[in-house]
Amino acid sequence: MDSIIVTGNGPLSGQIPIAGAKNACLTLMPATLLSDEPLTLTNAPRLSDIRTMTTLLQSLGAEVQALNEGQVLALSSHALTSTRAEYDIVRKMRASILVLGPLLAKHGHAEVSLPGGCAIGARPVDLHLRALEALGAELDLREGYVHAKAPAGGLKGGVVDFPLVSVGATENALMAATLAKGTTLIKNAAREPEIVDLARCLQKMGAQISGEGSDTIEVQGVDSLGGATHRVVTDRIELGTYMLAPAIAGGEVECLGGTIELVKSFCETLDAAGISVEETETGLKVSRKNGRVRAVDVTTEPFPGFPTDLQAQMMALLCTAEGTSVLEEKIFENRFMHAPELMRMGARIDVHGGTATVTGVDKLKGAPVMATDLRASVSLILAGLAAEGETVVNRVYHLDRGYEHVVRKLSGVGAKIERVKNE
């Protein structure tokens, strides 16, 4: 298993290119299942999760080609051979459940294994299933698989009213509704940029969708969808992560491709902490305003609130802030597993249920630490940028699911970081 070694090396300076959004691309790829015509995605991130989704789609008989060093994905589902998503693939990644809606809408039936993924809470798929039932699907859970069947004549438009906001369930409902007969209303819909990006791609394919980006999306079903070429939206979580690098280590870094619109709530929190964010022609320039970072309170919320996927990284920043910060996690339970590892580096953190109280220290100390999930792994790398001595982050395979070329990007702005293979 690989490790990443980070040595505190002072202020950072330069530019970091931000990749296409993993969470958007993982949703856009299954959209190919809705059409017999080609779908081409540009600005695709080169990540292990993308390779897992590629394997899943290919197992169904879809064609997926990675072009331009993986930044372009050419997909076609004109000759599917299966509508069964097997456990051995689905267990690796929760986003695999996103093939369920498209398969059901286009082919009238599907068998999809219940998914796996990061160990940061239960995250059940009941909201996905409830949405499809609202469109007339008949569902049966047995032997670890969802067996789904559309009524004769296909899915029917209906009202999907989510009791809780769910990004994945909104995506599944949106894709399924494009081919359902009649009008579908998706209420309490997720508003994330990834939802808007999916809607825009589906619109290019011929879908009739309005209201994306609001909490109510209306879909007028069509008989068939065509092909399209679509650029994957910038990854707002990678953007926010690298914005924190100069905030933690000092210096000034421009994150290429970033916009404040993608991370507005996050930028407001950074401003309160004493971090300057300036929009440029090519991205966002980030630096400390003056002196030590100030403590701030953070509550994770669905978009447009503070993203749960930036909570661990923000905690790393607040470990050396002046004063005491309170972080409240309202999206996923069990998402403070990075806290004990940061404490190994000298952080003062007190966790009670879904709340973590962080009292800033003058300096973190390098230590061997262990990554427990995707965002936790990068939070430890960020903490290492501000720590005295050497920080060794173990079990970094999580990192490859969501960040491409971390070592290259951070070393490019002056960080002392390397990836090593362990015997």
Which of 118, 201, 255, 267 is the catalytic position? 118
Contact predicate 244/316, CB 8 Å: yes
Report the alpha-carbon distance of residue 224 to residue 208 in Å, rounded: 11
Q: Which residue type does 187 have? A: K
Residues 222, 234: Cα–Cα separation, whole Å: 29
Q: Which helix (H) or strand (E) holds 339?
A: helix 339-344
Quote the DSSP letter at residue 178: T
Q: Which DSSP state fits 209?
A: E
124 carries a ligand binding annotation: yes
Residue 127 counted as an annotated binding residue: yes
Is residue 91 marked as binding? Answer: no
Q: How far apart are CA 321 and CA 274, in angstroms?
A: 10
Spatial distance between the Cα atoms of 188 and 384, rounded to a whole number of angstroms: 39
Fill in the amino acid letter for 371: A
d(CA 40, CA 325) in angstroms, rounded, equals 44
Cα separation values, 258 from 316, 342, 402, Å: 21, 28, 17
Which tokens is 37 given?
């015509």
Residue 186, classed as helix, strand or coil, is strand
Max CA pair span of the chain: 66
Q: Residue 321 corresponds to which tokens in the numbers above?
A: 């802030």
Cβ(77)–Cβ(64) below 8 Å? no
Question: Is 126 labelled as part of a ligand binding site?
Answer: yes
Q: 94 labelled as ligand-binding?
A: yes
The label of the residue with tokens 């015509």 reads 37
DSSP of 24-46, one letter per residue? HHHHHGGGGGGBSS-EEEES---
Q: Give the number of other CB atoms < 10 A from CB of residue 419.
A: 14
Is 318 part of any known ligand binding site?
no
Contact 383, 244 (CB under 8 A): no
Task: Determine if residue 309 is labeled as part of a ligand binding site.
Answer: yes
Q: Any alpha helices (H) in 167-320, and if so which ranges?
A: 167-177, 193-204, 236-249, 264-273, 311-318
Active site residue 319: no
Specify the 3-state DSSP secondary structure of 406: helix
Binding residues: 22-23, 94, 123-127, 309, 331
Binding residues for phosphoenolpyruvate: 22-23
Enumerate the active-site residues: 118
Binding residues for UDP-N-acetyl-alpha-D-glucosamine: 94, 123-127, 309, 331
